[in-house]
Structure formats: C-alpha cells, structure tokens
Amino acid sequence: MTDDHGCRDVLLNALRQDPEGTLDVTISTAPPLIAGPYTTAPFTCPHGVSYWLEPTGEQIARWAEDGTR
C-alpha cells in the first residue's frame, strides 16, 4: 500500500499502544470483501484516504477463546 502522508503508520503506532499488547489488526485502504461482526465504517484521514481497521482472524480466535465480546 502506498501512503505518502504517513497516516497508515500513525494508525499502526496508535494501535500498538494497546496497554495489554494483544491487539492484532489489519489496516487496509480496500474495504473488506465480506462484512463481518467487527466491520465498521472506514476511518478517513485528513488527506481523504479511507482506512478499514479490522481484527485479524487470529485476534478473533483469541477473543473467542478468552470469552471476550
């Protein structure tokens, strides 16, 4: 993915600040092919680029294992 403005890195760094260090997400400029229970509206940066942030399959599996909702 090309991002000349650095917004993707800002998002990734913000998500890495998860106090438990357990959040695992995918950030993409393409919308998900299939909307799931964690699909939300995209985040649009000040430069007009839309980013979809979704938990990975592994993250969802950990939540299911832990009973997290």
Residue-wise pLDDT tens digits, 25-68 = 888 899 999 998 889 999 999 889 999 989 989 988 988 998 87
- Give mean pLDDT, residues 4-17: 81
The span from the CA of 48 to the CA of 50, in Å, is 6
Domain range holding 51? Answer: 7-66
Q: At 1, is the pLDDT very low, low, confident or very high (cuts 50, 70, 90)? A: very low
Q: Taking the C-alpha atoms of 46, 36, 14 and 43 in order, what is their torsion angle to the nearest 10 degrees?
A: 10
Residue 26: predicted pLDDT: 86
Q: Would you say residue 47 lies in a domain? A: yes
Structural domain count of the chain: 1
In a domain, 2, yes or no: no
